[in-house]
Amino acid sequence: MVRQQLRPGDTLDGFLIGEKLHAGGMASLWRVTKPGIDVPIVMKVPTILDGDDATIIVGFEMEMMILPRLTGIHVPRCFAVKDFAKQPYIVMEYIQGHSLLTILDDAPLPPAQVAEIGAKVAAALVDLHRQNVVHLDIKPSNIMMRDSGEAAFIDFGLSRHLALPDLLEEEFRVPMGTGPYISPEQVLHNRSDPRSDIFSLGVLLYHFATKVRPWGLPKFNRTLRRRLWRDPVPPRKLVPAIPPWLQEVILRCLEPDADQRYPTAAQLAFDLQHPDEVRLTERATRMERSGFFKTLRRRFKATALESRPRDPGELPVSSAPIVLAAVDLSDGMERLATALRAEAGRVLASVPGVRLACVNVLKLNRIGLNYPLDHEGRNIHVNRLVELKEWARPLALKSGDVTFHVLEHSDPATALLEFAKSNNVDQILICARASSNLRRYLGSVSSQVVAEAPCTVTVIRLPQGSGAVYEAAAAPSDVPLTLP
């Protein structure tokens, strides 16, 4: 990877770099221009290349996948993307307007203004959800109000496209989102429910109406979990001028159980625009939080939800089997890596609809420091990601048919097994290095994967003086081979 240090006046792929508009810990925004593009545009460049947060790298990859597929007034128009092989960036429309963050300090806002803002954001959610995208990071700084009046979303780094692989869900096991706005489903690692965005919008409406965040500023997972059972103080207790119908709407959005919220953003938008039509329940007149016994029942229910395994019926429906290619990019493994790619190509050609997950494990030290940069100052995680894509390039796969994952773990076999189990992998392709006394004593990654994998495992070996040999090994439950 060759990284270019951007400066005003530089040119990158035909884009003339202008002033830097923003410099954050995750990305920088530069004003850019290019002949033939007659609208204001900006270039978003990740700054993670100097850090070690893998989630931001994967999140930028997700945004590069999702944003070019979106259309309409409620998202910025995308003009170009470039991956991590050289200088990664996204060039998008510069939205003329202001973010909702600029009016947050004016809260509490008049109820009519709260409803007007909420209706516009809900209308934008309707359009986004119709394009099979759940934003999953709805908050004031990610919502722009155009000068023409419409709400538009920015920053899709945590988003989920229901027709694309979810790299964040597949690689990480922590709740993804912004603490005050994260939904109960996200706390439970479910990133596929559009009603999560309705919950987050409910948090935003509560804050605009009361100047208080319903669950404060949680910083730890244990405080995030409270929203699974603890309802917020009713808004009208904090600001009596809030009309009952608006409290009804806000508290319905904030129900811990998604089935008790608005089923669609369209219904929420309708209620916010037609207050006289809102059907009032006990939520409208509530002045206290739920009592001890009701809260206790919710807590028991939440504990049961947290402890049970995810039901496959909750996951996005997909008929495409997943094949995991465990790619070893170490020096001296080039012949095995080539043989592994050949076997992956054979599987892809034999079974329709297969998705190939290319996985490399960045081994961490069990004891001592782990450095994110190599001796030349390059981010090791990003370099591995680039090498993994180069390994798969000869397969000429379309976006969506192949995904790339660099896992950071002290035990490569455990990392591969956890990935396979949590993502319902159908088959693992893995190379076995040549035998040695040390490996016989300590055990090998491939033998542990064969012994513990929940699916079929194909092991590729290179005996001395011969071509690749493939050994198919079933999982311990003796599940028969489902793929060639």
Give how far Cα 158 sits from Cα of 74, 129, 138, 331, Å. 17, 15, 10, 34
Within 9-142, strands assigned E span 11-12, 15-23, 27-33, 41-46, 78-82, 89-93, 97-99, 133-134
Of 93, 120, 144, which closes a domain?
93
pLDDT-derived band at 470 (thresholds 50, 70, 90) equals: low
Query: Is 240 a member of any domain?
Result: yes
Here the CATH number for the domain that contains residue 84 is 3.30.200.20
| pTM check: above 0.85 | no
Cα 112 from Cα 273, distance rounded (Å): 10
Query: Is 2 a member of any domain?
Result: no
232-244 pLDDT per residue, tens: 999 999 999 999 9
Length of the chain: 484
What 8-state DSSP symbol labels residue 379?
B
Residues 179 and 245 in one domain: yes
Cα 133 from Cα 143, distance rounded (Å): 15
Within 187-288, strands assigned E span none
Residues 270 and 188 in one domain: yes
Residues 286 and 333 in one domain: no
The predicted model gives 34-44 an average pLDDT of 95
Residues 215 and 234 in one domain: yes
Query: Is 234 a member of any domain?
Result: yes
Of 296, 313, 330, which closes a domain?
313
Residues 88 and 165 in one domain: no
Residues 154 and 171 in one domain: yes
* Number of domains forming the structure of the chain: 3
Of 93, 118, 140, which closes a domain?
93
Residues 366 and 294 in one domain: no
* Max intra-chain CA distance, the chain: 83
Whether 484 shows a pLDDT value over 50: the answer reads no
Query: Is 71 a member of any domain?
Result: yes
Residues 394 and 373 in one domain: yes
Query: Residue 45 belongs to what domain range?
Result: 11-93
311-363 pLDDT per residue, tens: 444 444 344 688 999 999 888 888 999 999 999 999 988 887 888 999 999 88
Here the CATH number for the domain that contains residue 307 is 1.10.510.10
Residues annotated catalytic, as ranges: 137
Give how far Cα 285 sits from Cα of 111, 209, 244, 298, Å. 16, 16, 6, 21
Residues 74 and 115 in one domain: no
Query: Is 136 a member of any domain?
Result: yes
Q: Give the bridge partners for 57, in sequence order.
A: none
If you average pLDDT over every residue of the chain, what do you get? 85
Q: According to the model, what pLDDT value does residue 478 have?
A: 35
162-197 pLDDT per residue, tens: 988 888 888 887 788 889 999 999 998 899 999 999
pLDDT-derived band at 477 (thresholds 50, 70, 90) equals: very low
Whether 481 shows a pLDDT value over 50: the answer reads no
Q: According to the model, what pLDDT value does residue 89 have?
A: 94
